Amino acid sequence: MKGFILKLQRARDEDMIVTILSPTSVKKYYRFYGARHSILQMGYLIDFEEEQDKANFLPRVRSLSHIGFPWLYDREKLMLWHQFIAIFERHFRDIESVESFYFYTLLEAAKRWEKQSPKRLIVEVAINILKYEGRLQPPSHCVICNNQIDKSIAPIQGFLPAHPECAKSPAISKKDLMNLFESGSTILLDDATIEQLYLLALKGF
Ligand SMILES: [Zn+2]
pLDDT at 87 (0 to 100): 94
The reply to whether 2-70 and 73-202 are identical in fold is no
In the predicted model, what is the mean pLDDT of residues 154-158?
96
Domain boundaries, the chain: 2-70, 73-202
Distance from Cα 113 to the centre of ligand 1, integer Å? 35
| pLDDT > 90? residue 145 | yes
Architecture of domain 73-202 in this structure: Up-down Bundle (1.20)
pLDDT tens-place string over residues 86-111: 999 999 988 899 999 999 999 999 99
Distance from Cα 64 to the centre of ligand 1, integer Å? 51
Distance from Cα 188 to the centre of ligand 1, integer Å? 24
Say what percent of the chain tops pLDDT 70: 100
Chain centroid offset of residue 177 CA: 20
Distance from Cα 155 to the centre of ligand 1, integer Å? 10
Distance from Cα 180 to the centre of ligand 1, integer Å? 21
Q: How far is residue 51's CA from residue 29's CA, in Å, rounded to a whole number?
A: 9
Rounded mean pLDDT of the chain? 95
pLDDT tens-place string over residues 11-45: 988 999 999 999 999 999 999 888 888 889 999 99
Distance from Cα 129 to the centre of ligand 1, integer Å? 25
Q: How far is residue 6's CA from residue 106's CA, in Å, rounded to a whole number?
A: 11
Confidence band of 57 (pLDDT split at 50, 70, 90)? confident
Q: What is the DSSP string of the chain?
A: -EEEEEEEEE-STT-EEEEEE-SSBEEEEEETTGGG-TT--TT-EEEEEEE--TTSS--EEEEEEEE--GGGG-HHHHHHHHHHHHHHHHHTTT--B--HHHHHHHHHHHHHTTTS-HHHHHHHHHHHHHHHTT----TTB-TTT--B--SEE--BGGGB---HHHHTS--EEHHHHHHHHHH---TTS-HHHHHHHHHHHHT--
Distance from Cα 138 to the centre of ligand 1, integer Å? 14
Distance from Cα 145 to the centre of ligand 1, integer Å? 4
Query: What's the CATH fold of domain 2-70?
Result: OB fold (Dihydrolipoamide Acetyltransferase, E2P) (2.40.50)
